[in-house]
Structures are given as C-alpha cells and as structure tokens.
Amino acid sequence: MISGLAGDMTVAALLQISETSHEELSKLFSEFFHDSVILSVEETFVNGIKANRLLIDFSENIKIHRDFATISDMITSSPLLPDRVKNDAVEIFRIIAEAEGKIHGKDIKTVHFHEVGAVDSIIDIISTCYLINKINADSIEFSTPLLGSGTTYSAHGTIPIPSPATLDILKGLACKRTNLPYELTTPTGAAILRYYQQHIDNTFTGTIEKTAYSTGTQSFKDYPNLLRVILLTSEDQQAHNVDEIQTNIDDMSGEQMAYVMEELFSKGCLDAFFEPVFGKKNRPSYKLTVICKPEDTHKLSELILKETTTGGVRYSHHKRRVLNRSFEKRMYKGYPITIKKFSGNGIFKTYPEYNNVAEVARKTGEPFDHVYRAIIANNS
C-alpha cells in the first residue's frame, strides 16, 4: 500500500489481477440497482508508472442515502451475487457501521452512508468482494497501512485525518502515519484490510505471477498516489481454500452410501468419509463429510441432497495447507510403480502407490510389506 488504501483503488487494481472487464461490473450493478451504472477505467501515469483509475457514473434516480440495515438487505436478497460475496460484503459494511455507530453514538442498524459515498461504497465493497472471490487466492497479505494528517470535510463537517472511523477500524493493527495532508487510508479501505488481512508485513516470498497498479482521484506533489497488488505463487507449502460439507444420515443402506461415495469422487471432491454417530433419536447414524473446492460446493451439495435421504446439508469454509506433490514412474522387478513425492519447507516424503504395491504382491507372491519396504529402499 504505497499510499494507503481506498475502495476505488482496490477495485481498479483487482480488475487487472482477476482479468475481469469493467463492462461486467457495469452490467452487474445496473441490474443490482435496477438503473444505469457505468464503471470505466482510465489509464494514467503516476511518476512515470502506468496505473488505472476507476471512474463510476450512475443514474440520478439511484437513491444515495441508505442505512446499514437497508444495504445489508439489498446485498443478501440479490440473486446476482454468490453467497460468499454476499457474506464478505455485508461483513465489511458491518465493520464500517460499527465504527461509525460507536463514534456518532448510533445503533448499527441506523448508521447512514451519506451522500454520493453511499453508492460509491456499495460499488467499491461489492466489487472488491466479487473480484477477490474470482481470484480465489489462498491467502491475502497487506503491507503496513499508511495514514495521512490534517483535516478533511465530511457529511458531519470538518474532521481530522485519519478519520475517527478509520482509526477505530484499524485498532490493534500496526500503522504508519505520514505528514501528507490527505486521507490515505479511507474507512472503506481500512474495513477491506481489517476483514481480509491474514498477515501484515512489508516482506513477501514467492514467484511473481502478475502485478497491477492503480491510483485515485488525488495527485500528490512529492509522493506517488499508488496501490500495487502482486499475485504470487508460493514456492513452498501451499495453502488452499476448501469447503467442508456435512450431513447426518440414519436411514440408508450400505450399498446406497457406497454409491454416493463413488459419485462424490467422480464429481471432483477432494476427500469424503463416513463416521458412525448417534442421532437425535438415539438411532445409530452416519455423518458424511465432504472436502471440496469452494467452486464445487453447490454441485456436490446438490448431489448429496439428490442421492441421499437427508433433508439438508451444512457447510463451512476452511484453509488447507498441503505439501507440494509430484509423481514419478519407476520399475520394480519388471512391474511399473507410481511413486508419490511430497515436499516443502524442509520436508520430504516418498510413498509408492498402494494399488501398484498390491498388484506386485499378488503376482509375485511376496508379502505386501516386503514389497512396500523394498520399493521405499530403492527410492530413498
């Protein structure tokens, strides 16, 4: 965050990283507000560096004053947005509303997002959540947020920089204040940071895949008004977003459950298993757990609802850290063996594929354990 963080700068940079067109967002928000919304991107240069600036134009008929409760209802009831985008956007608005409510002595539901900023805030926050969902990064890290000095004008009159809301949102996080007389990190930018940040550090490690630069409406005389977003691929252990789907079943046969398991794996689940449990009526039951990519959650949930006797499923979001993996083909006494290799962060593991070991044991008559250990010894 070269000059802090604001909503429009965040969107302008994420559009580049996600390779999403501003026309796509224009269509989304025109349908969301049921009136014309046009987002465009202007290329400009900041100290010789090409950067994108987000421009927003919308119909005068769109209402500009809304409280948190109204905005939350608009987002959650919209059929245009994925569930994760809805949840992220509402929670970011909640962070801002709680800070504003605390400062102005108002209940969170009655906190208003004033003037044209109400529409801009809705567009900036939903766009940020929409684009982050499309990028589907394993983790999001921020550099130390920068704060400006002086005063600025708000709907409540002249207020100090950084604004009270920004400071309240950033409470507990390391920040750096500068003498620049501008609001470098806005309440919207601070709320985005607060919600998504998993780590704040000015260092990073990994392979650089993409970089994007964006700027805002202000031009600073002695300082570049820039935001830089970097997409990295980890060179070591990898962290992934995964979803966990669960349901309890007490009235299915073993044959049916075996079929469901086969279908789940054929449709792309990462892992699935049954656990014996006792149900609410003290009947022996099974808990089905499915681990999958977030984009497969809906598809696999539908499969479970269709192919099992359950009346509903529950799911949650998790982080999964895995080692880098590779596969090699080797020969053992004339038989092909697949060797699985796991590595990362100083860890190295090697295992032969079970099916290959079992096949060799059956055909040669050697004990399974003997074959397994011999293969390991030959590949150590």
Check which CATH number belongs to the domain holding 289 and give it: 3.30.70.1380
Identify the pLDDT of residue 197.
84
- Phi, psi (rounded to 5 degrees) for 123: -65, -45
Q: Are residues 294 and 194 in the same domain?
A: no
Answer yes or no: is 274 within a domain: yes
* Separation between Cα atoms, residue 236 and residue 205, nearest integer Å: 9
Q: Are residues 45 and 79 in the same domain?
A: yes
- Co-location of 333 and 364 in the same domain: yes
Residue ending a domain, among 277, 296, 322, is 322
| In a shared domain, residues 348 and 224 | no
Q: Which pLDDT score is estimated for 116?
A: 41
Q: Report the pLDDT value the prediction gives residue 114, as an integer from 0 to 100.
A: 56
Same domain, 258 and 223: no
Whole-number Cα distances in Å, 65 to 45, 68, 71, 120: 34, 10, 10, 11
Give, for 358, the enclosing helix (H) or strand (E): helix 354-364
Handedness of CA 37, 190, 156, 153 (dihedral sign): negative
User: What domain count does the chain have?
Assistant: 3
End-of-domain residue from the set 200, 233, 266? 233
End position of a domain, from candidates 304, 322, 340: 322
Same domain, 28 and 68: yes
Question: Same domain, yes or no, for 194 and 47?
Answer: yes
Largest CA distance in the chain: 87
Q: Is residue 131 part of a domain?
A: yes
Same domain, yes or no, for 18 and 135? yes
Q: Note the pLDDT of residue 115.
A: 42
Residue 150 is assigned to a structural domain of this protein: no
- Residues 307, 208 share a domain: no
Q: Would you say residue 167 lies in a domain?
A: no
Residues 197 and 245 in one domain: no
- Any domain includes 306: yes
Reading the chain (380 residues) residue by residue, the pLDDT tens digits are 999 999 999 999 999 999 999 999 999 999 999 999 999 999 999 999 999 999 999 998 888 778 888 899 999 999 999 988 999 999 999 999 999 888 888 888 777 665 445 889 999 999 999 999 999 887 788 999 999 999 988 777 888 999 999 999 999 888 999 999 989 999 999 999 999 887 787 877 778 999 999 999 888 888 899 999 999 887 555 667 899 999 999 999 999 999 999 999 999 999 999 999 998 888 899 999 999 988 889 999 999 999 999 999 999 988 888 887 778 888 888 888 998 888 776 678 888 999 999 999 999 999 999 999 998 887 65
Has residue 280 been placed in a domain?
yes
Query: 246 and 276: one domain?
Result: yes
Residue 161 lies in a domain: no
Which domain range does residue 100 map to?
A: 7-145+188-233
Q: Does one domain contain both 275 and 302?
A: yes
Residue 169 domain flag: no
**121 Cβ contact list (under 8 Å, min separation 6):** 7, 93, 96, 113, 188
Percent of residues in the chain assigned helix, strand, coil, to nearest 5 = 35, 30, 30
